[in-house]
Amino acid sequence: MRDKSIYFRLPKTGKKGFLLEHDYLPHFYDKLHYHPELQLKYVMEGTGDLFVGNTFTHFEPGDLFLIGSNQSHVFKNSPEYFEEDSKLMSHSVSVFFQEESLGNGFFTIEEMADIQNLIERSGRGLQFSARTVQKVEDRIRALVDIEGFEQFLEILSILNELATSDEYEYLASINSPEPLSDNENHKINEVINYIFMNYKDNIKLEDAANIANYSQAAFCHFFKQHTRKTFIQFLIEVRVSKACKMLRDSELNVSQICYECGFNNVSNFNRQFKKVTGLSPTAYVKKYEERVENISHAS
């Protein structure tokens, strides 16, 4: 039976200035969606891929993201989270809010200038550095134990801390795309789920087009219109994202990872990996190890 849930406008702040959502689930909500609220999401448990705007990035415990208003996104857990006998859990704290939640013009007053700038930057999605996360992670966790005015002031203070940090990376190269209709969202999600579950296999354009019930030509236009990527680009970036995780977390060599992630030869894998990440697989591992060592020394 078709999932009848609405694929967008999920959170609603209503009369509250900020809406706190504390999730402890087998996996995060796995449909591409958007909502008018900005979302500050701190991941405590769970790994996978975040697709936001037109970009993939890996997520893991300790990551902190700010997703802009109406920015299409999905936190897609790794395949093992969807296995029937999986005991893995995903745990996060999210804060949702709209610019208008606190009254028209609230973020335009002088004291809110830094947060207003943060809101403007969030249109492309932001990921904060490990050093910045260390400054606020305990406070974000503690939000679930307070409420009312105390929680309201603490969230504003956390946002101000993030707003004054220059240690962040943009997630997408574009601002929020035009939101999808419910029917379009259903089709896109069917295709995305198919890719995530079968990226190791020889996925064909024809198969994806059939899932969305389009001709191949119409599907190519539809898919690029709503993801800002060709189907092949999207598939390659999913495979590269999976390869990045395996390079960080497994003992497999580059050749083994190449075939595990759906590439048919090592030279093509190396070429596509560098095209997506800007680094060779070997250089990527070295950079990651240096980053881990720097974080360890800073702690």
Domain positions in the chain = 19-170, 182-292
Residue 110 has what DSSP assignment? G
Torsion of CA 208, 212, 215, 220, to 10 degrees: -60
- Tokens for 210, please give them: 């059939």
| 55-59 sheet: strands from edge to edge | 55-59, 48-52, 73-77
Report residue 7 CA to chain centroid gap: 16
Which CA distances in Å does 270 have to 77, 242, 265? 25, 14, 9
Residue 267: partners with Cβ closer than 8 Å, 6 or more residues away? none
Beta strands in 152-204 (DSSP E): 168-170
CATH topology of domain 182-292: Arc Repressor Mutant, subunit A (1.10.10)
Question: What are the mean pLDDT values of the chain's consecutive 10-residue runs (299 residues total)?
Answer: 36 73 94 89 95 85 94 89 93 91 78 90 92 96 95 95 94 64 79 90 93 94 86 93 89 94 95 94 89 63
**CATH class of the 19-170 domain in this structure:** mainly beta
Read off the pLDDT of residues 16-48 as tens digits, 9 standing for 90 and up: 789 999 999 999 998 888 888 999 999 999 999
Entry pTM: 0.76
Query: Strand 126-128 to strand 168-170: parallel, antiparallel, or no bridges (unpaired)?
Result: antiparallel
Read off the pLDDT of residues 217-238 as tens digits, 9 standing for 90 and up: 999 999 988 788 899 999 999 9
| Cα–Cα distance, 172 to 125 (Å, whole number) | 6
